[in-house]
Amino acid sequence: GGGKILQMTERNRSLKLVVIPDSLVGEITKKAKESPRKRFAHPLRRPEDPVQIILNAIEPESYLRPHRHPDKSETRFIVQGKVAVVSFDNQGEIVQTTIMEKNGRNFVVDTPPGVYDMLISLEESSVVLAVIQGPYLEETHKQLAPWAPAEEDYEAGQTYLQSIKEQIQNKL
């Protein structure tokens, strides 16, 4: 019996709290601004962990292709700035738009499994904390929307992003 308690105690001593200081937020927003894709993802957990926590810095010109997680919900918290979370049906029609802002009415959005959505930054230096069930396996983590342009096609992505912004204009 005593050995088990000792093992747990030793293991617990090696666990560290995950703390997100404003210096880290500043660091990742700087990296997002410098990135060609105008965003930066900073994972706070290892890929094999049962819960994934990712700090995402997103600039307004960043196009994030709509995607879904087939069997996992994704919960997002606004840390800084202002973003739109746009959900779609399976044909690519907008179903819902929620604006998240630090001192606004909405600061958490939970997207159920199988629902396509995308983030759109509405202010410079926007940062979102995303929590999703792990482990992270790249090949099964998410499904990209077949009706939206690939992120690698810059022009098509920017045109699509602009068209979504125009469609949700009344929500902004």
Q: How much is the pLDDT for 19?
A: 82
pTM comes to 0.86
Distance, CA of 84 to CA of 169 (rounded, Å): 11
Residue pLDDT tens, the chain, 172 long:
444 444 444 444 456 777 888 999 999 999 999 999 999 999 988 888 899 999 999 999 999 999 999 999 999 999 999 999 999 999 999 999 999 998 888 899 999 999 999 999 999 999 999 999 888 887 777 899 999 999 999 999 999 999 999 999 887 7
Amino acid at position 30, single letter:
K
Q: How much is the pLDDT for 171?
A: 74
Q: How much is the pLDDT for 150?
A: 95
Assign 152 to helix, strand or coil.
coil
Q: How much is the pLDDT for 119?
A: 97
Q: How much is the pLDDT for 14?
A: 53
* Tokens describing residue 71: 């069997």
| Among 50, 43, 11, residue whose Cα is nearest residue 24 | 43
What are 127's strand-pairing partners? 57, 80
Give the helix/strand (H/E) hosting 13: helix 2-13
Neighbours of 45 (CB within 10 A): 16
